[in-house]
Amino acid sequence: MTHILIVEDNELNRDMLQRRLERKGYAVSCAVDGPQGIAMATTTRPDIILMDVALGDMDGWEATMAIHADPRSATIPVIALTAHALESDRLRSIEAGCVDFETKPVSLPDLIAKIEQHATVRNAA
């Protein structure tokens, strides 16, 4: 079973996404901010991380760079989640080390396709 870590500071967004993914058969853990997401990435070793980019004191891009700087979590793929569909946000996400980008509100079929693509690549390695 694919384990997903959601890093999202908005409780409603986090709970809604967690419930939808669990109904699709995924194991889901949640972090409420960047530092907690970094810690959980190294301790729970999820197959993939869904990272909100607007997290407050430490944004999702900073958290992604910290996750990839740690050898224990460096290979975990991160998909950026943002309410902004700007090309600059997509480019900044890729520069920070994210493997993909999804805008909010999330299209569940599109997000699941991205999760499957990137989790499969990691698990095959």
pLDDT tens per residue, range 6-25: 999 999 999 999 999 999 99
pLDDT tens per residue, range 92-112: 999 999 999 999 999 999 999
pLDDT value, residue 118: 94
The pTM for the full model equals: 0.95
Round to whole Å and give the CA distance between 65 and 98: 9
Dihedral of the alpha carbons of 67, 73, 74, 80, in degrees to the nearest 10: -50
Class of domain 3-119 as given by CATH: alpha beta
Q: Is the pLDDT reported for residue 120 higher than 80?
A: no
If phi > 0 it is left, if psi is from -120 to 50 it is alpha, else beta; for residue 8 that is beta
Q: Which residues have CB under 8 Å from 60's CB, separation 6+?
A: 7, 34, 51, 52, 53, 54, 80, 81, 82, 96
pLDDT tens per residue, range 26-72: 999 999 999 999 999 999 999 999 999 999 889 999 999 999 999 99
Q: Is the pLDDT reported for residue 85 higher than 90?
A: no
Round to whole Å and give the CA distance between 106 and 108: 6
Burial class (CB in 10 A: 0-12, 13-18, 19+), 93: buried
